[in-house]
Amino acid sequence: MAKKKFEDLPGWVRALTVVGGAADVVLRAAALIDLAKRDDDELNGPKVVWMPALGAVNSMGLLPLAYFRWGRKDSAK
């Protein structure tokens, strides 16, 4: 079976792929910037684990969302 090329995909699939990729880049950048500004005691887990994971793992935005939800300690406490 021949592989499909991007231009062979339906328009809605191409648009969803581009929007999803852009959302992943924005979320990843925001998470990395937030992580760089925080001290180690403000994080759940070591910064040396979060940083490469956020930088290298392709997660379609799920890993940055996990960082924002569970990776940071609640500052209101």
pLDDT tens-place string over residues 26-57: 999 999 999 999 999 999 999 999 999 988 88
> Which DSSP category does 43 fall into?
B
Residue 66's Cβ-count burial label (10 Å; 0-12, 13-18, 19+) is middle
Query: What φ, ψ does residue 38 adopt, rounded to 5°?
Result: -95, 150
pLDDT tens-place string over residues 64-73: 999 999 999 8
Contact between residue 63 and residue 27 where contact means Cβ atoms under 8 Å apart: no
Is the pTM value of this prediction over 0.85?
A: no
